[in-house]
Amino acid sequence: MLLLPNGLGVATSRALRKLASLTLAVLLPAGVALAATASDTQQIERGRYLARIANCAACHTSEGGKPFAGGLPIRTAVGTIHSTNITPDASSGIGAYSLSEFDRAVRHGVARDGKRIYPAMPYPSYARMRTEDVAALYAYLRAEVAPVTQRNPAPQMRWPFSMRSLLAVWNVLFLDDDPVRTDAARGAAWNRGAYLVQAVAHCGACHTPRGSLYAEKGLDERSRHFLAGASVEGWSATNLTGDQLTGLGAWSRADIAEFLRTGRNGHATSFGPMSTVISTATQYMNAADLDAVAAYLKSLPGARGEDKPFRHDPATAQQLRQGRFDLPGARQYAVFCMPCHGADGKGFARVFPPLAGNPTVADPDPASLVNLLLDGAVTARVGTAPADYHMPGYGWTLDDQELANVLTFIRGSWGNRAAPVQEADVAARRKALAAQRRTDAER
């Protein structure tokens, strides 16, 4: 009578121990899985943030198209390519890519099938990204982006640039995958800013001039060409170095951070491609990263040697207020521009930008100004402003000579000392924009 319960007790004890062991065997992997899931969530969140800073969606989404499905035409000096599909679709996107294959594409410009990627995709900048950041991008794109089956048009490149095999030689000559240089003496903000500017945000891809083989002339602050301004798709990407007139020399760190967050500050208002960058990318940067980028940019010496600050000259304002339109373009300025930008060219801060001392106005390349007057522009659409502002274009009512006169007047007034704009430059750009609109309409 006593042995039976004891026997049962032993058996039960053994059974419970076995059950407990089996339960632990089941629960332990579940616990590990839970930990991995939390880690994965953090990695995906990090990837989402990096994808925004890198502005992946802006380039890999066509107008009216599905996010990240590609198809956006990218016009270069040697032809047009279309951005690729980076959704996790297995047949036309990156769904079949392993992490190592994705890393090779992002940082070295080689697709899964071995095809070379044109460096319009800024892999020369991404080559310097940390492997863990590339892995975070991969995790985000595969976990949170909807797969889309979409194959995009083949590149239309001029010979010999149509020969992708030559890109292997180009990479040998120009691809630098060394980590972004650090400098402990400069502090954490500067080093973080260097990494963001040079690698993730790839600022040099637009703002650094390119050589005869279309490689950037400088990759970091050790080159006098780095971020010194360049021409991109008919726009002038401004000088981001410390020059007083055409660069950021007159801007504080806070000014730079405000511009990247809101698209406006006391010196300028965004327009053109930069409005898109701010709307889709930089407005989402956290405060620490915005300050880090600003700290790094403010450390760059001027590329053009402009060490004297802008000084406003009131003479033009006095003439305009007196109704004197002695100079060509003055009358058109008074009619079309003065209501917003004022007789003194100072505008209305954070709404209508000043023209006096504006780096874009002073830029040796007037391309962006020509685009603005021909077609108009819109400020960045951001969550920190109640509305975006549209500047109308005047190509419909002013001829090429009148537009050139207005721009020449602006670039030579209130203390601005930029070169005149030629009628032929306006005519050429008007023709190019018309051809571009026809091509877009036919797509």
Annotated binding site for heme c: 56, 59-60, 203, 206-207, 337, 340-341
Helix (H, G, I), strand (E, B) or coil at 72: coil
Q: How many CB atoms lie within 10 A of CB 172?
A: 8
Q: How far apart are CA 297 and CA 241, in angstroms?
A: 7
Q: How far apart are CA 347 and CA 223, in angstroms?
A: 35
Q: How far apart are CA 308 and CA 244, in angstroms?
A: 6
Q: How far apart are CA 267 and CA 259, in angstroms?
A: 9
Cα four-point dihedral sign 117, 122, 127, 133: negative
CA separation (Å) from 404 to 377, 431, 440? Answer: 18, 15, 27
State the binding site: 56, 59-60, 203, 206-207, 337, 340-341
What are 354's two structure tokens? 């000043």
Q: How many CB atoms lie within 10 A of CB 388?
A: 14
Contacts of 441 (CB under 8 A, 6+ apart): none
Angle, vertex CA 196, rays to CA 194 and CA 199, nearest 5: 95
E strands present in 252-359: none
Exposure b/e, 200-213, CB count within 10 A at least 16 = b: bbbbbbbbbbbeee
Contacts of 81 (CB under 8 A, 6+ apart): 73, 74, 118, 120, 155, 156, 157
Q: How far apart are CA 398 and CA 54, in angstroms?
A: 38
E strands present in 303-389: 377-378
- Which helix (H) or strand (E) element contains residue 46? helix 3-53
Residue pair 60/86 in contact by the 8 Å Cβ criterion = yes
Counting beta carbons within 10 angstroms of the beta carbon of residue 338, is it exposed (0 to 12), middle (13 to 18) or buried (19 or more)?
A: middle
